[in-house]
């Protein structure tokens, strides 16, 4: 059985793009790739939780960051994990200039659309990492 | 002595994305930042303690901090203490809700019960904020009593996030080694703005201000004072 791909979203609390990263991660792990992906909370890695570090060392991770400080990618690498792909929500934003997300606790419609666009990009990466052909 | 950087309470949520209690921490903190105590609180994302710089790690040394965790692992409290400073208050959502969290909804979407817990936790955080700032409220107007407000300007602002602008720090050479002092650029700017030129009396005041935010070993106080005054003199020359 193939290892699940770890999805590590930024745990941003101060900006809409952090919420988009988190919502996108939920869309991937719950709707688009359930059973093939696993959500990994960043807080456990910050703490240095051993169990989480072992999980991290056995699978590739996709880090989704909400801002240029790239906490998710940096913390995964710092915990000994392998960032197979690091995504910036800002880059997804640039590819969808019509979507201008707002809201943090509750994303607006634009934010949810952007989260789905992000999730589709992540799904393609997951397919590639697992050697599965993506039929668009 | 000039006013030091504004005293606010720092809020740090674990934000654990895999359990509903983690979502409760995040939403409760946002509620305090956005509506309950917007003028008195500031936040930072927990991972910045690892991914950020010295200014980010200075957060809990600079602000009295309340950590809010979703489970008994207490990632926010323990990480904050490990990398930044001991939290003034450490809360765990599980202490306030029944052991069975099934009724809270999912991590992605909380139920009505989950949202009720968000409000309860937010209220608890707000009460801790008031206590830490010694803030008293006028029950009729619903506004803080002016006499109990921290010494700071009141202005319209959005819920504050420290991401991207951690506490400013400055690194000096003290007795042949590098020492990073938090808030030093702010202190310099405030002294300069108050028209305090480098002098012996300014040195005493500067050291008092520096020591509020930074530990200064008593045996090295003279070396710190010398280094700080040299930097302050250079700062004043540069801002002329």
pLDDT tens, position by position, B192-206: 888 999 999 999 999
Q: Nearest by CB to B43, from A13, A40, A71: name it.
A: A13
Give CB contacts under 8 A, 24+ apart, made by B143-146: none
Question: Which residue's structure tokens are 């919502």?
Answer: A23
pLDDT of residue B239: 67
Q: Nearest by CB to A41, from B16, B30, B43: name it.
A: B16
The pair of three-digit structure tokens given for residue B143, joined into one six-digit string: 């506004």
Q: What is the mean pLDDT of residues B128-133?
A: 94
* CB spacing of B164 vs A69 below 8 angstroms: yes
Domains of chain A listed by start with CATH number:
5-129 (3.40.50)
Angstrom distance (rounded) from CA B90 to CA A97: 41
Residues 6+ apart with CB under 8 A from A72: A8, A9, A10, A11, A21, A42, A63, A64, A65, A86, B47
Helices (H) and strands (E) in chain B, counts: 9, 9
The pair of three-digit structure tokens given for residue A12, joined into one six-digit string: 């941003």
Angstrom distance (rounded) from CA A72 to CA A95: 21
Q: What is the mean pLDDT of residues B88-100?
A: 85
Q: Above 90 in pLDDT, residue B126?
A: yes
**Sign of the alpha-carbon dihedral angle for A2, A118, A86, B109:** negative
pLDDT of residue B50: 86
pLDDT of residue B1: 43
Exposed/middle/buried for residue B129 (C-beta within 10 Å: 0-12, 13-18, 19+):
buried
Low-confidence ranges of chain A (pLDDT < 70): 1, 133-136
pLDDT in tens, B41-87: 999 889 998 888 777 888 887 889 999 999 999 999 999 999 988 99
Rounded mean pLDDT of chain B?
Answer: 84
Residue A52 contacts residue A61 (beta carbons within 8 Å): no
**Above pLDDT 90, what percent of chain B?**
48
Q: What is the mean pLDDT of residues B139-150?
A: 65
Q: Nearest by CB to B16, from A23, A43, A78: name it.
A: A43
Global pTM value: 0.79
Smallest CA–CA distance, residue B65 to chain A, in Å, is 16
The pair of three-digit structure tokens given for residue B63, joined into one six-digit string: 């602000």
The pair of three-digit structure tokens given for residue A95, joined into one six-digit string: 């590819």
User: Checking phi first, is residue B74 left (phi over 0); if not, alpha (psi -120 to 50) or beta?
Assistant: left
Count of other CB atoms within 10 angstroms of residue B95: 10
B161–chain A Cβ distance below 8 A for any pair: yes
Angstrom distance (rounded) from CA B218 to CA B41: 32
pLDDT in tens, B213-232: 777 888 999 999 999 999 99
Smallest CA–CA distance, residue B114 to chain A, in Å, is 14
Q: Above 50 in pLDDT, residue B156?
A: no
- Which alpha helices (DSSP H) does A34-70 contain, by range? 42-47, 50-57
Chain A environment of B46 (Cβ under 8 Å): 11, 42-43, 46
How confident is residue B4, by pLDDT bands cut at 50, 70 and 90?
low
């Amino acid at each position: 059985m193939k290892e699940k791909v770890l999805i590590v979203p930024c745990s941003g609390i101060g900006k809409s793009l952090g919420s988009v990263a988190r919502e996108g991660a939920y869309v991937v792990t719950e709707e688009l790739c359930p059973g093939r992906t696993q959500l990994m909370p960043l807080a456990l890695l910050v703490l240095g939780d051993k169990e989480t570090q072992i999980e991290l060392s056995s699978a590739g991770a996709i880090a989704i960051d909400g801002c240029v400080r790239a906490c998710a990618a940096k913390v995964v690498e710092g915990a000994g994990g392998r960032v197979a792909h690091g995504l910036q929500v800002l880059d997804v934003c640039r590819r969808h200039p019509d979507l201008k997300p707002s809201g943090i606790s509750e994303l607006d419609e634009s934010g949810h659309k952007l989260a789905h666009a992000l999730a589709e990009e992540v799904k393609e990466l997951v397919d590639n990492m697992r050697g599965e052909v993506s039929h668009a | 002595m000039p006013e030091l950087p504004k005293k606010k309470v720092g809020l740090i949520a674990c934000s654990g994305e895999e359990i509903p209690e983690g979502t409760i921490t995040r939403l409760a903190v946002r509620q305090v930042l956005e509506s309950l105590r917007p003028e008195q609180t500031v936040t930072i994302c927990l991972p910045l303690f690892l991914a950020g710089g010295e200014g980010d790690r200075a957060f809990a040394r600079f602000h009295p901090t309340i950590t809010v965790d979703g489970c008994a692992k207490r990632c926010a409290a323990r990480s904050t203490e490990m990398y930044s400073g001991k939290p003034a208050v450490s809360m765990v959502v599980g202490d306030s809700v029944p052991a069975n969290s099934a009724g809270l909804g999912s991590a992605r979407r909380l139920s009505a019960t989950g949202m009720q817990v968000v409000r309860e936790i937010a209220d608890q955080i707000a009460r801790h904020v008031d206590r830490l700032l010694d803030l008293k409220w006028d029950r009729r107007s619903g506004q803080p009593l002016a006499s109990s407000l921290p010494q700071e300007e009141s202005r319209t602002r959005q819920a504050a996030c420290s991401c991207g602008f951690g506490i400013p720090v400055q690194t000096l050479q003290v007795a042949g080694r590098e020492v990073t002092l938090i808030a030093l650029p702010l202190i310099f700017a405030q002294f300069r703005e108050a028209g305090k030129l480098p002098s012996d009396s300014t040195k005493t005041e500067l050291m008092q201000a520096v020591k509020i935010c930074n530990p200064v070993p008593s045996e090295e106080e003279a070396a710190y004072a010398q280094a700080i005054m040299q930097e302050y003199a250079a700062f004043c020359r540069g801002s002329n």
